[in-house]
Amino acid sequence: MTVKPTYDMLLLRFGEFTLKGKNRNRFEKSILQHVRALLKPYPDVNILKEYGRLYVRLNGHPFEPVLADLKKVFGIVSISPVKVCPSELESIVSSALQFMSETSLAPSTTFKVNARRVWKAFPHSSQDMNHLVGSPLLRAFPQLSVNVKEPELELRVEIREDRTYLFHESIQGAGGFPLGTNGKAMLLLSGGIDSPVAAYSAMRRGLEVECVHFYSYPFTSQQAKEKVIELAGILSQYSGTLKLHLVPFTEVQTSFTGIGQDNLIITFMRRAMLRIATRLAEREGALALVTGESLGQVASQTLPSMNVIGRATELPLLRPLITADKHEIIALSKEIGTYDTSIQPFEDCCTLFIPKSPTTNPNLRIVQKVEATLPGLSDKLEQAVEQTETLVITPDQWASTHTQGKESVIREEWF
């Protein structure tokens, strides 16, 4: 069924945070700011706020591109394109007839009218309105038949004092909590499939996320770095602005080679990453670390490995994908638009120096003892933090460089 784009408004409904009592106003304010930021490219549209809802007046603008952007706003559970008319019976009936004439109906379509009289002074009851609107539709469109239990099309009529809304679609939004309303976290972003999905999942739960990426030039390539910046750009479409910290990791990573503990290299490396990410988090005011780990996926993601690796930081470690399987993660990566970039075949530092038999059950005492014998490890960690480059990526900036080429974003000194 195809609907012509002649809607007047988009109705935005809020999600689970409406149950949060005194925090509700703060959450609604956060959504309003996010929506305003996303609507800047559409100067013709404006916002109407009511208790528990937002409306976006389209003012003649096609609804599809605006809808596509608003579906990325966390905290909005559903969106309905709406036709608006005066709250008078004659206007409501004529608008319903026009609404249906603009809808491509199958030769046999079941429907019902679901009227809701929010304005109690309106002279006809909700039940009366179902008949007063439905009967003219049945006479005008012979392909329609009534099915009140499972209709193929449900025309909803919401009567308020100053206007009446007509709509029949409820399109799923991003849901979750408004961005940043649950604090800030530092996310370890690799070039793989999992960590961008973890970033999206964390943001969807109301976290403001900053990303940290570790590179090991010359063992990792410029394309690998570009790939991560592109992933951050895609994620910035959901956050508005995204900080990406690029950490030179070569000195730290190579310090773990040649010490006769090849099976523990991944453990050492992951612990070092957490220590560096922790220092960056403390510097940036983030209160947790987020990783893309999924239980049992690789040797460093067994429960014993995660226990030993996680002991390297005192910050809470959040793992949004911990119980998700690979198929679920891939499906979400495709949905949010990161999959095609993630599968580009450019190596990152996590794929370097992988031993033939990495341990799945490291011993914390042995790991700590070996780390204590490595000369200058603490200084190398500190040096990596000091040499970290930080990019602030916005959707507009990313879209521009993505279209024109990436030369203006990548700087040679990063390599």
**Can you give the pLDDT at residue 399?**
62
Report whether 168 belongs to an annotated binding site: no
Asked if 155 and 189 sit in the same domain, the reply is: no
DSSP assignment letter at 113: E
Report whether 391 belongs to an annotated binding site: no
Q: Distance between CA atoms of 69 and 64, rounded to whole angstroms?
A: 9
DSSP assignment letter at 236: H
Which residues, 6+ apart, have CB-to-CB distance to 247 below 8 Å? 212, 213, 214, 215, 276, 280, 384, 385, 387, 388
Q: Distance between CA atoms of 413 and 3, rounded to whole angstroms?
A: 52
Report whether 131 belongs to an annotated binding site: no
**Can you give the pLDDT at residue 97?**
95
**Can you give the pLDDT at residue 11?**
96
Which residues, 6+ apart, have CB-to-CB distance to 82 below 8 Å? 7, 8, 9, 10, 11, 55, 165, 166, 167
**Can you give the pLDDT at residue 397?**
66
Report whether 261 belongs to an annotated binding site: no
Give yes or no for a contact between 206 and 74, defined as CB atoms under 8 angstroms apart: yes
What is the residue range of 271's domain? 184-407
**Can you give the pLDDT at residue 407?**
43
List the chain residues with pLDDT less than 50: 1, 3, 5, 405-415
Report whether 213 belongs to an annotated binding site: yes
Report whether 292 belongs to an annotated binding site: yes
Report whether 39 belongs to an annotated binding site: no
The domain that contains 50 carries what CATH number? 3.30.2130.30
Asked if 164 and 244 sit in the same domain, the reply is: no
CB atoms inside a 10 Å sphere around CB 149: 6
Instruction: Select from 172, 203, 238 the last residue of a domain.
Output: 172
Amino acid, res. 38: L
Whether 415 maps to a domain, the answer reads: no
Instruction: Select from 152, 172, 192 the last residue of a domain.
Output: 172
Amino acid, res. 264: L
Asked if 54 and 155 sit in the same domain, the reply is: yes
CB atoms inside a 10 Å sphere around CB 390: 12
**Can you give the pLDDT at residue 216?**
87
Q: Distance between CA atoms of 309 and 367, rounded to whole angstroms?
A: 10
